Amino acid sequence: MNVTRAWLLPISVDRQLAVGIHFMATLLWQPPCWHLAGMPVFSTGWVAWPQGLLPLFDLRLLLGETHALAAEHVVVLRYLDSSQRLLFAGLRVMHRPSLITVSDDQVCQLPDDHGLWRQIAPSCFRAAQSVVPIIDPSRLFNLNYAELAALSAG
């Protein structure tokens, strides 16, 4: 049975995501954040880190929740753009991610509560009583505004 490790990202009280261990670059605590009028709700601005400004995302808002998280914890994820350049983006999480072990026998169906999962999550597993989508940061962060807005509306 195949066993691998992943980071578990709590994005709300009852929803968690996972990313492959190599996608996590760092965890920022109370980073300086920058906001701008007119930005889409799911991309709430920028977060500062040593290499510059990173776009900051709050998936809860993309999933229809209405209140942004306080940006106390931001995970910085690696991803590749369409030109295969290595880039970084920030994702708000409720508290510190945890490192977990996932095995093949935990695999389950993606949740069907939102079209987002089929866009950004190639797989999914069950942990305790939760269904946890495994997201591909490259799929998520390469979505453009129109695509994200359509998902947000849906």
Partner 1 sequence: MTSVQWLDHASNHLSFLVADCYWFVAVNHFVSVELTAGTGHQAAAGTVRWQQQELELMVWHADQGLLVWSSTAPLYKRSLPMPSLIAITRAAPQFALLCDEFALIQAAQAPVWQPWHPAHQVPYWQHVTGVAVWRDRLALNVNWPLLVSRYGTVSQQSAGQRP
Binding site for partner 1 (CB under 8 A): 34-40, 42-43, 46, 48, 52-55, 57, 89, 141-146, 148
- Least distance (Å) between residue 55 CB and partner 1: 4
Between strands 43-49 and 33-34, the pairing is antiparallel
Q: Characterize 74-112 residue by residue with b for buried, 16 or more Cβ atoms within 10 angstroms of its Cβ, and e for exposed.
A: bbbbbbeeeeeeebbbbbbbbeebeebebeeeeeeebbe
Nearer Cβ to partner 1 (42/117): 42
Nearer Cβ to partner 1 (16/43): 43
Nearer Cβ to partner 1 (7/42): 42
- Least distance (Å) between residue 142 CB and partner 1: 7
- Least distance (Å) between residue 89 CB and partner 1: 7
How would you class 68 by CB atoms within 10 Å of its CB: exposed for 0-12, middle for 13-18, buried for 19 or more? middle
Nearer Cβ to partner 1 (146/153): 146
Q: How many helices (H) and strands (E) does the chain have?
A: 4, 11
- Least distance (Å) between residue 21 CB and partner 1: 24
- Least distance (Å) between residue 13 CB and partner 1: 25
Element of type H or E holding 48: strand 43-49
Q: Characterize 36-59 residue by residue with b for buried, 16 or more Cβ atoms within 10 angstroms of its Cβ, and e for exposed.
A: eeeeeebbbbbbebeeeebbbbbb
Nearer Cβ to partner 1 (123/142): 142
